[in-house]
């Protein structure tokens, strides 16, 4: 008898959980049904996709299907990333049903709920651009968040200088100068506005991702967007994992574990946003110059013995 009651209670609890999930799905459907179709793009320069990234994308496709969301997907393989991104933008601009573009790199890990959180932040605040927080596949790793730091500007070289924001705002949405595009959502109205001149005419052959020879297409896009009057936002509550072949998954935890080593990453000084601006200032009012101590152990090759461990 007691066993039967236990089974009945478990069935009731299970049904309640299902009903709760069904209710959440219906809420999602009501909230997002008027946002129009998205164009989801994963540029793929190498022609392959990491298994963890594929699993993340598969889970997202499933979630979007459950929510009955309308979307298209493109995966330009063996194509230069800036070209693949531009092709995706043109596809979206030429589709009257498309309302926004989503870029997700082929070596990112994330959950569907993280994407939905980022998407909700975009629509709830009527933003044009928002990026999740990602970290570079470099040693030491660094956040893909950038600010403007004019210490290197001169009369001879007046280009806008961008630098890594080592001390970025934690667990909040914030404006910045530029971001990476590990996961980014861009409204179609922004893409349309960027390619038009002051008279409203389309600039023939306009390239959203090229800016004055800057080799990084993500930053080039952000600079073009800012010059067209749009704001760039990052949400550090949505944290991506970056797949690496030579290290564990690169994440915020990986970055924090680097500690002071980040200061030695190629003139990467500790910089933070000036309050309310996208310009940067040194943390604690000064830029620390890295001082590397000379190695204490040197091995003369003529005395090298493979059996000796130093």
The per-residue pLDDT for range 78-108, each reduced to its tens digit, is: 567 778 888 889 888 999 999 999 999 988 9
- Indicate whether 157 and 14 sit together in one domain: no
- Indicate whether 17 and 46 sit together in one domain: no
How many Cα atoms are found within 13 Å in the side-chain-facing hemisphere of 262? 20
- Indicate whether 6 and 151 sit together in one domain: no
- Indicate whether 213 and 128 sit together in one domain: yes
What is the signed CA dihedral for 123, 124, 125, 130, rounded to 10 degrees?
Answer: -50
pLDDT digits (tens, 9 = 90+) for 30-81: 555 567 888 998 887 666 677 788 889 889 999 988 888 888 887 766 567 7
In a domain, 301, yes or no: no
Give the domain range for residue 24: 1-32
Q: Which residue has the higher pLDDT, 260 or 300?
A: 260
- Indicate whether 145 and 231 sit together in one domain: yes
pLDDT score recorded for residue 259: 73
186: confidence class by pLDDT, cuts 50, 70, 90:
very high
pLDDT score recorded for residue 13: 67
Select from 78, 81, 128, 86 the least CA-distant residue to 105.
81
Say which range, 181-195, 238-252, 275-289, has the weakest mean pLDDT.
Answer: 275-289
pLDDT score recorded for residue 46: 67
- Indicate whether 1 and 81 sit together in one domain: no
In a domain, 299, yes or no: no
Count structural domains, the chain. Answer: 2
261: confidence class by pLDDT, cuts 50, 70, 90:
low
- Indicate whether 100 and 240 sit together in one domain: yes
| 63 contacts 184 by C-beta, under 8 angstroms | no
194: confidence class by pLDDT, cuts 50, 70, 90:
very high
Provide the 10 A C-beta neighbour count for residue 105: 22
pTM score: 0.78
- The SS3 call for residue 68 is coil
pLDDT score recorded for residue 143: 93
123: confidence class by pLDDT, cuts 50, 70, 90:
very high
- Indicate whether 105 and 150 sit together in one domain: yes
Q: Residues with Cβ < 8 Å from 156, sequence gap 6 or more?
A: none
Q: Rounded distance, CA 114 to CA 238, Å?
A: 6
- Indicate whether 40 and 16 sit together in one domain: no
- Indicate whether 169 and 236 sit together in one domain: yes
Select from 108, 39, 111, 109 the least CA-distant residue to 76.
39
122: confidence class by pLDDT, cuts 50, 70, 90:
very high
- Indicate whether 18 and 165 sit together in one domain: no
Domain holding 170: CATH number?
3.90.550.40
- Indicate whether 14 and 97 sit together in one domain: no
299: confidence class by pLDDT, cuts 50, 70, 90:
very low
């Amino acid at each position: 008898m007691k066993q039967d009651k236990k089974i009945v209670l478990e069935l009731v609890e299970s049904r309640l959980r299902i009903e709760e999930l069904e209710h959440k799905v219906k809420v999602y459907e009501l909230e997002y049904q008027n946002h129009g179709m998205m164009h989801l793009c994963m540029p793929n320069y190498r022609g392959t996709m990491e298994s963890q990234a594929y699993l993340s994308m598969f889970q997202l496709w499933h979630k979007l299907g459950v929510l009955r969301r309308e979307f298209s997907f493109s995966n330009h393989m063996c194509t230069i990333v800036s070209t693949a991104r531009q092709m995706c933008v043109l596809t979206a601009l030429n589709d009257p049903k498309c309302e926004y573009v989503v870029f997700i790199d082929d070596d990112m890990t994330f959950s569907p709920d993280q994407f939905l959180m980022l998407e909700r932040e975009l629509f709830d605040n009527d933003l044009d651009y928002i990026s999740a927080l990602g970290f570079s596949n470099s040693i030491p790793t660094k956040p893909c968040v950038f600010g403007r730091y004019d210490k290197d500007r001169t009369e001879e070289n007046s280009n806008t200088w961008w630098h890594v924001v080592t001390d970025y705002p934690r667990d909040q949405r914030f404006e910045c100068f530029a971001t990476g595009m590990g996961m980014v959502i861009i409204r179609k109205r922004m893409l349309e506005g960027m390619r038009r001149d002051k008279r409203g005419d389309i600039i023939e052959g306009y390239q959203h991702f090229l800016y004055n020879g800057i080799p990084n297409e993500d930053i080039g896009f952000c600079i073009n967007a800012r010059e067209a009057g749009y704001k760039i936002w990052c949400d550090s509550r949505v944290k991506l994992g970056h797949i690496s072949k030579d290290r564990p998954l690169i994440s915020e935890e990986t970055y924090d574990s680097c500690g002071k080593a980040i200061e030695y990453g190629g003139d990467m000084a500790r910089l933070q946003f000036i309050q309310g601006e996208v310009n940067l200032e040194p943390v604690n009012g000064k830029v620390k110059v890295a001082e590397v101590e000379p190695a204490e152990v040197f091995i003369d090759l003529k005395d090298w013995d493979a059996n000796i461990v130093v």
